[in-house]
A and B are shown apart, each in its own frame.
Chain A
Amino acid sequence: AQSVAQPEDQVNVAEGNPLTVKCTYSVSGNPYLFWYVQYPNRGLQFLLKYITGDNLVKGSYGFEAEFNKSQTSFHLKKPSALVSDSALYFCAVRGPEYGNKLVFGAGTILRVKS
């Protein structure tokens, strides 16, 4: 089984609508969870991370993510999508369960249409 699963290759949403990009991880324990965004021909940019504490994490550009331990999920959310949010989004996990390496999901393309 994949360590990190992003079940949707692509998510389409209209500008102004809320968006969700899904991520689940497969290993029990307490890994650290990250979201990164990649714009065309650019490197990855860090958005947010979950270490411990409050299950709702706020990050850059109005994004937030909700950690759910029982469902081993860490979905990325934004209340109101912008066309400029269109990009490739990666979920990643890191912890002893993953050999202390940052393991990425396959990525989800987000398309926001005006």
Chain B
Amino acid sequence: DSGVTQTPKHLITATGQRVTLRCSPRSGDLSVYWYQQSLDQGLQFLIQYYNGEERAKGNILERFSAQQFPDLHSELNLSSLELGDSALYFCASSVGLENYNEQFFGPGTRLTVL
């Protein structure tokens, strides 16, 4: 158990809908990262937050947004969902900003868009 929790585990929804994925980082970790894992794209970094502020952006679509709250939990919002958004979404956390810090991953949320 990495100490990172994600809810829900599974999500099934329809095209055009909006969903929110939730992540709680390990105790003491200030950095939260979101990743998307799909068969065709592999593991892709989406976005990073550190202590409530956005720090880095990857290949995140404009339809997607995220935030980190004062209690350090984070939410990833996916809107106007398309079939291609079906994927595993992982949250990870690390202690700080340094590149050498390993990231600890949650169990993921499997999103299915029908």
Contact = CB atoms under 8 A, between A and B. Distances in A.
A45 B2 contact: yes
A46 B104 contact: yes
A34 B2 CA distance: 16
Q: Sort chain B's interface into a size bin.
A: 20 to 34
Contact of A101 (B4, B56, B90): B56
Given A43-B4, A43-B105, A95 B99 contact: yes
A72 B88 CA distance: 30
A34 B42 contact: no
Interface residues of A, number: 24
B100 A102 contact: no
A34 B103 CA distance: 10
A87 B21 CA distance: 26
Interface of B: 2, 4, 33, 42-43, 45, 48, 56, 58, 90, 92, 99-100, 102-108
Interface of A: 31-32, 34, 36, 42-46, 49, 51, 90, 94-96, 99-107
